[in-house]
Amino acid sequence: MSAAPSWERVYAVVRRVPRGRVATYGQVARLAGLTNGARQAGYALHALRPHTAVPWYRIVNAAGRISLGDVAGAVTQRLLLEREGVPFDAAGRVDLARYQWKARPRRGA
């Protein structure tokens, strides 16, 4: 099954990210079931359509930084996150230790 592209799987995970939280590409990739790792997750978001209802802006790299190459897009992403209550430090990084989304680990731990 899974006739649909793997990207749909990624979008589904991204949609699960709650407001005011962020997730890393690797995290999303793993939750999406991507064996290749984070790179494909980034590709999936790259292929994302602007009109798609997916909070792509909640996805940052493992360093808590915006990996987007497009400067305008990066600014937009940061703005949207700050708007949700996710602050950036002087280095333009998010405190993943506090704001990284904790995926529902089948029962808390």
- Which residues would be at the binding site for DNA (CB under 7 A)? 5-6, 24-27, 35-48, 56, 59, 61-63, 67-70, 73, 77, 91
Q: Which is nearer to DNA, 56 or 107 (CB)?
A: 56
Nearest approach in angstroms of CB 41 to DNA is 6
Nearest approach in angstroms of CB 21 to DNA is 15
Nearest approach in angstroms of CB 91 to DNA is 5
Q: Which is nearer to DNA, 89 or 107 (CB)?
A: 89
Q: Which is nearer to DNA, 46 or 83 (CB)?
A: 46
Closest-CA residue to 15 (of 101, 82, 80):
101
What's the rounded Cα separation, in Å, for the pair 109 and 106? 9
Q: Which is nearer to DNA, 40 or 88 (CB)?
A: 40
Question: Which string of DSSP letters, residue by residue, matches 59-98?
Answer: EE-TTSB---S-HHHHHHHHHHHHHTT----TTSB--HHH
What's the rounded Cα separation, in Å, for the pair 101 and 17? 7
Nearest approach in angstroms of CB 72 to DNA is 10
